[in-house]
Amino acid sequence: MKTFVSAKIHGVYVTDRNVDYNGSVGICAELMAQAGIDPYEQVHLVNLRNGERWVTYAIPAERGAFVLNGGSARLGEVGDRCLAIAYRLSDHPFEAAVLFCDRDNRVASTGTYDVVPTL
């Protein structure tokens, strides 16, 4: 078994931070569904402004929201652009959804990480 990217939300902007929350990242439920990220699924987050990278779990949030909760709230500021990446174990690569967000955290375009044949 190997670990492969299963979904990616690219260029999502932090809309709020809540250090007193128990943890996680709140991601717009519509983005999660379109990317194929399930509630409470592990995600890796990357802050493109400061280079921070960490692991947490995703919880559904209101439309357009991307909220850093708990300790994650210390790793970014409102307005920071981030990536949210989910991974899955598999024997073989598979196609993974990629969503590219606009400034309002709506899907601007989509793509996939396509399976490339092994040489």
CATH number of the domain at 68, please. Answer: 2.40.40.20
By residue range, what is the domain housing residue 26?
2-108
The answer to the question of residue 117 being in a domain is no
Each residue of 5-54: pLDDT tens digit?
999 999 999 999 999 998 799 999 999 999 999 999 999 999 999 999 99
Higher pLDDT, 54 or 119: 54
Instruction: Look at residue 65 and tell me if it is in a domain.
Output: yes
Catalytic residues, by residue number, are 24, 57
User: Both tokens of residue 70?
Assistant: 């708990």
Q: Which two tokens stand for residue 84?
A: 């949210």
d(CA 14, CA 105): 9
| Tokens coding 24 | 């996680």
Structural domain tally of the chain? 1
pTM of the model: 0.92
Is 113 within the bounds of a domain? Answer: no
Q: Is 118 inside any structural domain? A: no
pLDDT attached to residue 116 = 65
**What pLDDT is stored for residue 53 in this prediction?**
97
| E strand segments, the chain | 2-13, 16-18, 25-28, 42-47, 53-61, 66-69, 81-90, 96-101, 107-113
Is 7 within the bounds of a domain?
A: yes
Distance from C-alpha of 99 to C-alpha of 34, rounded to nearest angstrom: 8
User: For the segment 53-98, what is each residue's pLDDT rounded down to a tens digit?
Assistant: 999 999 999 999 999 999 999 999 999 999 999 999 999 888 999 9
Per-residue pLDDT at 115 exceeds 80: no
